[in-house]
Structure 1
Amino acid sequence: MALWRFPSIVKRGVSSSLIRHLVGLSSSEYISGLLSPLSIHRKQSTWESNSKSCSFATKYGLSVNLLLVNFCSQAYKTCWSCKEKLTYSSKFCGNCSKLQPLDSSLNFFDVLGIEKIFNVDTKALTRTYRKLQADFHPDRYSVKSEQEQQYALEHSSAVNKAYRCLLHPVERALYLLVLAGQPLHEGQIDMEPSFLMEIMEVNEELAEATDQETVRTIGQRNQEIIDRLLREADAAFSAMNIEEARAVVAKIKYYNNIYEKVREYEREHGIVD
Structure 2
Amino acid sequence: MLCPSCGAIQPLDLSVDHFSVFGIPRSFQVDSKLLEQKYKNLQKKLHPDLMSSKSEKEQQFSADQSAHVIRAYYTLLRPLSRARYLLKLEGIIVDKEGTVDDPALLMEIMEIRESLESVSETGELNKLRAENRVRTEDTEKALEAAFLGGDLSKAVSLVQRLAYYNKVDEEIVRKL
Alignment of 1:135-150 (within 5 A): 135-150=45-60
Identity %: 37
For residue 179 of structure 1, what is the aligned residue in structure 2? Answer: 89
Q: Which runs of 4+ in 1 moved over 6 A?
A: none
For residue 151 of structure 1, what is the aligned residue in structure 2? Answer: 61
Give the paired residue count.
175
2:24 paired residue among 99, 114, 120 = 114
Bigger radius of gyration: 1
Structure 1 contact 93–100 (Cα < 8 Å) conserved: no
Alpha-carbon deviation of 1:101? 1.2
Alpha-carbon deviation of 1:188? 4.1
Query: Distance between the aligned counterparts of 2:100 and 2:120, measured in 1?
Result: 34
Query: Distance between the aligned counterparts of 2:122 and 2:91, measured in 1?
Result: 42
Alpha-carbon deviation of 1:169? 0.8
TM-score scaled by length of structure 1: 0.61
For residue 134 of structure 1, what is the aligned residue in structure 2? Answer: 44
Structure 1 contact 118–176 (Cα < 8 Å) conserved: yes
Return 5+ residue gaps in structure 1 as ranges.
Answer: 1-89, 267-273
AA aligned to 1:187 is G
1:138-187 CA-partner distances (Å, limit 9, x unpaired): 12211111111111111101001111111111111111111111111233
Q: Which of structures 1 and 2 has the larger relative contact order (alpha carbons within 8 angstroms, sep 6+)?
A: 2
For residue 101 of structure 2, what is the aligned residue in structure 1? Answer: 190
AA aligned to 2:2 is K
2:113 paired residue among 175, 200, 203 = 203
For residue 33 of structure 2, what is the aligned residue in structure 1? Answer: 123
- If each structure's helix is expressed as a fraction of its own residues, which one has the higher value? 2
AA aligned to 2:3 is F
> Alignment RMSD, CA only?
1.4
Structure 1 contact 91–102 (Cα < 8 Å) conserved: no
For residue 74 of structure 2, what is the aligned residue in structure 1? Answer: 164
AA aligned to 1:258 is V
